[in-house]
Amino acid sequence: MLRQLAALGAAGLLLSGCATVSDSLDSINPFTTAGPKMAALKPIAATADVRTLWSFSAGKAGDFSFSPAVVGNAVFVAAADGTVNKLEDGKSVWKIKAGQPLSAGVGANNRLVVVGTSKGDVLAFSAEDGKPVWQAKVTSEVLAAPTVGDQGVAVKSGDNRVFLLDASDGGRKWVYQRSTPPLSIRSAGSPVFADQYIFVGFPGGKLVALSIQNGAPVWEGAVALPKGATELDRVADIVAPPVVDGRQVCAVAFQGRVACFDMGQGGAMIWSRDLSSATGLALDGRYLFVTDDKGAVHALDRLSGSSLWKQDKLLNRRTSGPAVRRGLVAVADAEGIVHFLSREDGSFAARQKTDGTPVRATVQLLESGFLVQTVGGNTSLIEAQ
């Protein structure tokens, strides 16, 4: 069990609950270097050309997980010291100091840039020039990047409440709360807007569709069913954000399953299969890609869940969640190396180094390539074809 929990480092998570366990169980703190030995990387015969288009030093993440926000050709990045930058073509258009240390970011659209703090502050700035717009308060630390949508700003707090804040002034529209198990994973999984819903994963393996209008739960799907003799055994939490494509919404739970649901059929389950992950998944037209808790990357048929391939040569490398683009699947690891896999068979197509520090957040997509942000603060756009 402790070996499995050490693998959570790729997600930038800590275990907590009604009683904090990190003080007594330091071995399951994912920010420690302890844990199973990482698989050595063997030479590969590259079949794809990769190059770093630009690299920018955004500032260190510390003990948190920061991910860039992409809005058109603009990239917004934040760091633990409160620095926030807007980048265009890898160069800073504006740079601000939020005025206090940050624990999560970034959420953005073409009007707002939103970050969060460990004290529950939610800070919004103008996407155009970085000037402060509003500040709001939620009930606990903010570890997941806020999600900015047309209907407002969705924030998940560390006590597993979900808030919808007014985008114009930060006023609270509604809050959704559910009970939390005695032990759960401090989640960095952001809410997801889709159709008339906000999708959020919770401890206990539940994926919940909340009404954007009033925050009422419309339906919930069981991605995992907690089981076992101890509280540690029964940890079965949805940690990574769900993914949505068309009517299909999919999520994965640590010590649980990966499952897909049909939004058009009231959340009816399409399929599920046993697979444990705390880092995330990605969808394309045919496949679902997911990184498991041991670092292996899987490709599943998105309609049936059947296994298509598995790349297991990244064992214990704290592999990030995947992104897929133009026939390549990209994941990054604890040494800041970005691995490019063939979408069709999972074979290694290329590798690219960054600054040598871990990548905790899921690889993201920009029109011209793959975007990664390391714990050391390096944000890189990598072209692969």
pLDDT of residue 179: 81
Percent of the chain with pLDDT over 70: 90
pLDDT of residue 346: 97
Residue 348 within any structural domain of the chain:
no
The residues with which 209 forms a beta bridge, in sequence order, are 199, 219
How far apart CA 142 and CA 159 sit, in angstroms, is 9
Residue 119 within any structural domain of the chain:
yes
Domain count, the chain: 1
For residue 17, pLDDT over 80 is answered with no
The average pLDDT across 250-274 equals: 94
For residue 13, pLDDT over 60 is answered with no
* Comparison of pLDDT for 105 and 215, the residue scoring more: 215
pLDDT of residue 16: 47
* Comparison of pLDDT for 239 and 354, the residue scoring more: 354
Q: Smallest Cα–Cα separation from 276: which of 207, 223, 343?
A: 223
pLDDT of residue 231: 83
At residue 284, what are phi and psi to the nearest 5 degrees? -130, -165
Q: How confident is residue 187, by pLDDT bands cut at 50, 70 and 90?
A: low
For residue 21, pLDDT over 80 is answered with no
Residue 73 within any structural domain of the chain:
yes
Q: Smallest Cα–Cα separation from 381: which of 70, 9, 33?
A: 70
CATH number, domain of 111, equals 2.40.128.630
40 in helix, strand or coil? Answer: coil
Residue 134 within any structural domain of the chain:
yes
Q: How confident is residue 19, by pLDDT bands cut at 50, 70 and 90?
A: very low
Summarize pLDDT for 285-321 with one digit per residue, the tens: 999 999 999 999 999 999 999 999 999 999 999 999 9
Q: How confident is residue 117, by pLDDT bands cut at 50, 70 and 90?
A: very high
The residues with which 257 forms a beta bridge, in sequence order, are 274
Residue 153 within any structural domain of the chain:
yes
For residue 30, pLDDT over 80 is answered with no
How far apart CA 196 and CA 212 sit, in angstroms, is 6
Residue 77 within any structural domain of the chain:
yes
pLDDT of residue 28: 35
pLDDT of residue 71: 96
Residue 237 within any structural domain of the chain:
no
The range of the structural domain enclosing residue 164 comes to 66-187
pLDDT of residue 253: 94
At residue 221, what are phi and psi to the nearest 5 degrees? -115, 145
pLDDT of residue 344: 96
Cα angle 161, 169, 172 (rounded to 5 degrees) comes to 25
The position carrying tokens 């930058």 is 85
Residue 47 within any structural domain of the chain:
no
For residue 244, pLDDT over 90 is answered with yes
What global pTM score does this model have? 0.90
| Average predicted confidence (pLDDT) for the chain | 90
pLDDT of residue 8: 47
